[in-house]
Amino acid sequence: MDELRFLTRSTFGERSEFKGTTKLALLRLIKLTATAHSVRLQPPADVSQDQLFREVEETSSSDSVSTTASAEPETSLQLIIVPRAEDDSIGMTDRSSFLDLFDRFDIDPIVLQQIALTSYGFHHYDEPYRNAYSFYIGTYVYSLAWSYNPTTMRTNAILLLRTTPVLDRGTLVFARLHVTLHKYKAYARTPFFLAFMVYIHLCRMSQEAVFLTVRDLRRIESMTGHGPGLGAQSSESEPSSSSQRRNIHKLSSAAQKVATIRVHLANLLRHDAYLKTMAAYLETPRRSSQWNDLLGHPDLAASCDADFDYLFTLMPAMKKLTSDLETSLIYLQTRAEGQSSVIFSMMTHEDAARNTELAALNTELATAATKDSKAMKSIAMMTMFFLPGTFFASVFSMESLPTAAAEQFWIFWVCAVASTLVVFVVWKYHHKLTKAKLKRKNGEAPQQKQLHYQQPGRACTEDTLTGSLAAELRGLGSV
C-alpha cells in the first residue's frame, strides 16, 4: 500500500491546482462533540487559512488532554469546508498547505488521487491508516473525504464545495447539509454518523433536483405546445403571420436549456448508483459493531450502537424515497429528448418560413430591379434620340456663325438626323458585341465537338467513326 500511496501523492502533485494567492474566500469550520449524555454542535465559523491551522492544532491538543483527564469519553467531528472553483482549483494558497491539513486529519493518501481527478462515487477503505479508517464520496456538488479513528473516536473531514454560478456558489448545498447535521446531531456518537448524513442529504437533494427538472421541462413544454397533457399541435393550426410565430431566439434558449437538463438527468442517474452503494454499505450485517472492540472507551459502545440503530431505522424511508429515482430519471430523459426533437423541428420550420419570406423579398427586389432597368433603358434611348439635335441646335445658335447658316435651316436637320442614326447604329452594334462576348464567356456559344482517335496516319470525327463502325458490323453479319 505504501507504493500506491506514493503514486497517488504524485498524481495529486501533477493534477491538482490551487489559487496561489493570499486573497482567498474564507474557509468554514464546523465542530461537533458528543458524550453519552450530551451533544454540542457549534455553528459554522468563517476562518482564514492561518486561523484554521491554529484551530486544528488546539483541537488536537484538547483531545489528547481529554482522553487522559476526562472521566466521560466523547466523540468529536471536525468538518472543514474548502471552496472549489469551476476549473477544479482548490481555494487554498498552495498544495503544501492542503497536504499538511490532509496529513493532520489522518486521511489515507490514496484519497488524494480521487480528489485530484474529481472522482465520483462512494469509496471506503477497510485497511486502517494511522489507526484511522478513510472514506470518500464524490458528487457533482461536492467531494467529501473523512477519516474515523476508533481509538480517539474522532472524525476529521474535508469538504470540497463546488462554488460554480449554476450551483449558487455552493451556498444552498452547504445550508442544506448543515441543516441535516443539526437535525440529527443527537445521534452523532456512531462512527457512521457522517456517512448517514451524506446519504440522507443526497437522497433529499436528488428528489428536489427531480422536482426542479420536472418544473423546467413543463415550462419548455408550455412554450413549445408539445408534451404530456398538451398533445401535439398540428402545423395547420400554427399562425401564418411572422409576428405571431415563436421567436427563434426563444427556441434557441429553450434548446440550450433542454441540453442542460439532459446532462443534469444523466448526472442524477449516475448518483442513483452511488446512493445504492452507500445504502448497501450501511446495511451490511454487524456494521454497527465493526469497531466496538477498538473503542478506547467501552462505556461509549452502547451509545454508539443506539445511535446507529436509530439512524438505521431511517434507511427504509430513504430507500423508498429514492426507489423510483432511476425510473423517473429515465422517463424525464425521454421527455427531454422529445422536447429536443420538437424544438429542432420548430427551428427548422421557422428557418424555412424565413427563407420563404426572404425568397419572396428577393423576387420582389428582382422585379423592381427589372422595372428600373427597363426605365433606365428608356431614358437612355430618349437621351440618345434628343442629344444630337440638342448639340447641333447649340452649335447653330452661336453668333459667330455666318448668317448663311441660319438662313439655310435644312443643314441642321441633315446633321441632327444623320448623327442620331449613327449613334443608334453604333449603340446597337456595341450591344450585339457585348452580348456575344458574354455568351462566349459563359460557354453558351455553339461549338462543334470532334472526337480524335489515334489511328495510323489519320484522325476522324465522331460521324466518320460511327460510319466505319457500322460498316464493320455489316461485314461481320455477312460473314
Please check the confidence at residue 171 and state whether its pLDDT lies above 60: yes
Task: State whether 251 and 337 are in the same domain.
Answer: yes
Asked whether the beta carbons of 335 and 217 are under 8 A apart, the reply is yes
Over residues 267-280, mean pLDDT: 92
Helix (H, G, I), strand (E, B) or coil at 45: strand
Q: How far apart are CA 61 and CA 84, in angstroms?
A: 29
**Quick one: pLDDT at residue 467?**
53
**Quick one: pLDDT at residue 469?**
44
Task: State whether 297 and 426 are in the same domain.
Answer: no
Task: State whether 193 and 164 are in the same domain.
Answer: no
Please check the confidence at residue 251 and state whether its pLDDT lies above 60: yes
On whether residue 448 sits in a domain, the answer given is no
Task: State whether 87 and 118 are in the same domain.
Answer: yes
**Quick one: pLDDT at residue 451?**
46
Asked whether the beta carbons of 180 and 200 are under 8 A apart, the reply is yes
Task: State whether 65 and 29 are in the same domain.
Answer: yes
On whether residue 233 sits in a domain, the answer given is no
Domain around 423: 398-439
On whether residue 235 sits in a domain, the answer given is no
**Quick one: pLDDT at residue 156?**
95
Please check the confidence at residue 249 and state whether its pLDDT lies above 70: yes
On whether residue 344 sits in a domain, the answer given is yes
On whether residue 206 sits in a domain, the answer given is yes
Please check the confidence at residue 233 and state whether its pLDDT lies above 60: no
Task: From residue 328, give the alpha-carbon distance in Å to each of 38, 269, 334.
Answer: 41, 9, 10
Task: State whether 37 and 144 are in the same domain.
Answer: yes
Q: Taking the CB of residue 14, how many other CB atoms lie within 10 A of it?
A: 8
Task: State whether 98 and 210 are in the same domain.
Answer: no
Cα 78-83-85 angle, rounded to 5 deg: 155
Q: Taking the CB of residue 308, how many other CB atoms lie within 10 A of it?
A: 22
Task: State whether 208 and 151 are in the same domain.
Answer: no
Task: State whether 310 and 198 are in the same domain.
Answer: yes
Please check the confidence at residue 211 and state whether its pLDDT lies above 80: yes
Task: State whether 434 and 309 are in the same domain.
Answer: no
Please check the confidence at residue 108 and state whether its pLDDT lies above 80: yes
* CA proximity to 209, closest of 163, 176, 161, 164: 176
Write phi, then psi, for 155 (nearest 5 degrees).
Answer: -115, 125
B/e letters for 223-245, b = 16+ CB within 10 Å, e = fewer, are bbebbeeeeeeeeeeeeeeeeeb
Q: How far apart are CA 443 and CA 158, in angstroms?
A: 78
On whether residue 37 sits in a domain, the answer given is yes
Task: State whether 62 and 131 are in the same domain.
Answer: yes
Over residues 234-250, mean pLDDT: 53
- Assign 440 a pLDDT band (cuts: 50, 70, 90): confident
Number of domains forming the structure of the chain? 3
- Assign 355 a pLDDT band (cuts: 50, 70, 90): low
Give, as one character, the DSSP assignment of residue 225: T
Q: What is the CATH number of the domain that holds 340?
A: 1.20.58
On whether residue 323 sits in a domain, the answer given is yes
On whether residue 346 sits in a domain, the answer given is yes
Task: From residue 49, give the alpha-carbon distance in Å to each of 23, 26, 162, 297, 305.
Answer: 11, 8, 18, 33, 36
- Using left for φ > 0, alpha for ψ between -120 and 50, and beta otherwise, residue 319 falls in alpha
Task: State whether 162 and 27 are in the same domain.
Answer: yes
